[in-house]
Amino acid sequence: MPPCVGEIAGQARNDGLRLGSLSHSPASKKTTTMIILSTAPILPIFNQAIADYHKHDDVDHPCENPYERLTIEWYLYNKVWIDTVQWHLEDLIRDPHIDPMEALALKRRIDKSNQDRTDIVEMIDGYYLLLFQRVDPKENATLNTESPAWAIDRLSILQLKIYHMRIEVERTDISEEQRAKCEEKLRVLQEQNSDLCTAIDQLMECYKTGEKVMKVYKQMKMYNDPNLNPVLYGQK
């Protein structure tokens, strides 16, 4: 395994990430038997989390993940929950009448959310590294521009766009002209969703068959690191 990916895969092992074997969980939690190699089982998890959030529509409501801890389903549910909360934080911070101190607090919260999002994407990539590490790549195997989890990250955001654009289409306080524009945007988003699902499914198949080699790098975000952000280490 290339050194650049060892840390992520090791983290996945250390955190006990399960790769789909039947696991026993409390009655309140869903058990998992899946090894997820396509978008078909991912979309229902994403849409469930989005719907669960909007039952309360509150950025401070705790995440009540129905899946067993440390399963891939658990990570996927947490992933889209983080994205959904951040979607609404971004709405709040754009209030033109927001108190400056409240805006600063929201900005700090959004920064942390972005880091949480990155961390969980890297954990999901750790899952796929473990799945594909025993596949022998073909002699002419190629690399992909992004890893499976970062493609899944785009899929998560796309579900949020579709969900909220559908709300705009169904509003009763807008003109027919505006509704028509929203309907066209929704149509494009749905087409994009279909294309992205196809592309991710094809990518997974290429990894399974050895036509592509999975290789990922940590994002190396510097602005949150007190040893790498000049503003932060300059205060020492």
- H helices of the chain, where? 3-14, 42-54, 72-93, 100-132, 148-169, 176-209, 230-233
Rounded Cα distance, 82 and 77, in Å: 9
Residue 44 has pLDDT above 50, yes or no: yes
CB atoms within 10 A of CB 40: 10
Tokens of 128: 């796929």
Rounded Cα distance, 185 and 229, in Å: 39
Residue 236: per-residue pLDDT: 55
CB atoms within 10 A of CB 149: 22
Beta-carbon contacts of 75 under 8 Å, excluding residues fewer than 6 positions away, are 17, 120, 123, 124, 127
Helix axes 72-93, 42-54, angle to 10 degrees: 40
Residue 224 has pLDDT above 50, yes or no: yes
**Mean of the pLDDT values across residues 60-85?**
97
Rounded Cα distance, 179 and 173, in Å: 10
| Alpha-carbon distance values, 119 to 19, 23, 69, 101 (Å) | 18, 24, 16, 27
CB atoms within 10 A of CB 141: 16
Q: Global pTM?
A: 0.84
**Mean of the pLDDT values across residues 124-153?**
95
Residue 30: per-residue pLDDT: 64
